[in-house]
Amino acid sequence: MIDLKKKTKLTAALLAAVLAFSAFVSCAPKRDEPSGHVTIPSNTAGPGTAQPTDVPATDIPEETPALTQTAETDVPSPTDPPESEVPTEEVTDAPTATPAPATPTPAPSTNPPATNPPSGNTVPLGSSSKPARFTMPTDLYGLSEYACEQWFSDAVFIGDSITLGWQNYNNKMLETNSSFFGNTHFLCSGSYGVGHAFDPISEDSLHPRYQGEQHFVWDSVSMMGANKVFILLGMNDISIYGVDGTASRYQDLIANIISHRPGVQIYVISNMYMYRGSEREKLNNRNIYLLNQRLVRMCNEHGYEFVNIASHLIDENGFVPDQYSSDHYVHQTYAAYAVWAQILRSVAARHIQGIPPIVFSLP
């Protein structure tokens, strides 16, 4: 009897132990990964998980390195846009029609402070062999940038691909500043020159378009009612007509503009110099400097105003430095056009304040 009772109790104890162990195993937590990592549901972000943004990655602008600072460089104003290269068509020895340049997004510009403006109203253009640097004032003479820029509301800029870059810069600035440079006007065409201005109008001619159609620029100036005309031409003419022939056609062009728009004010912008190593047989810095001398003489004789922007965009040897060259040739960056804006505001300020313009003396 005793043995039977012990066996019964032992069997019951063993059965209870088995049942308890089975229950323990069935309640243990399960893992989704063999490595032991627990899977996080797709709608839950763990600590440090990157959150999505409203801006796609492709829309976030890349940071552009700051420009190299030089000892003598003008500073674009705080309202000037960041720098970026402006890819425009190359100036060629033979006239060829090329498409307008695209407008890239500028990147931050960090140019050093502006040099002191020249004292007095007469400034040397340069020596017998090399142009002078920083010949134009940049002072606003107590006026705001806005007041100076509105002076250009009845102005038009006539030019080739280099001036087309200035137009692109204006268009970019207008995206954030609807009154930039008074919504000035442009008559620009790639590869255009003073010689092309007299070509018959045709499908192949390079005359700038106004209101969707090609016109002689003097007719366009008259139709738009411009009171101030800024001209930058000649780079596409030197190789064809030479320095003297280009200067002669320049005067003929201006005479036609004045005859069609009496009383208009004429401003001749200096031809821009070239990047070191890019010069050609006829299109080179020496001939460009000679052409600028001829244009200064023309301005002094006829009462036009010479605006020597090029003197602010060259190094000590007379070449355009990297920060202002978009193609290591003749075309310019937005950093260069920021300098244009600075000098042109000062030109406007002098007129508004009744200060006589700068007159250049020849070597």
Q: pLDDT by residue (tens digit) across 265-308?
A: 999 999 999 999 999 999 999 999 999 999 999 999 999 999 99
**CB–CB of 61/108 below 8 Å?**
no
Query: How do strand 265-269 and strand 228-232 relate by DSSP bridges?
Result: parallel
Closest CA to 360 of 307, 285, 320: 307
Q: Regarding the domain delimited by 123-361, which CATH topology (the fold level of the hierarchy) does it fall under?
A: Rossmann fold (3.40.50)
Strand residues in the chain grouped as ranges (E): 122-124, 155-159, 185-188, 209-210, 213-214, 228-232, 265-269, 305-307, 359-361
Enter the pTM of the model.
0.70
Q: pLDDT by residue (tens digit) across 221-269?
A: 999 999 999 999 999 999 999 999 999 999 999 999 999 999 999 999 9
CB atoms within 10 A of CB 99: 8
- Average pLDDT of the residues in 330-343: 98
Query: Kind and range of the H or E element at 301?
Result: helix 285-302
Strand partners for 187? 158
Strand residues in 182-269 grouped as ranges (E): 185-188, 209-210, 213-214, 228-232, 265-269
Tokens coding 3 = 């043995």
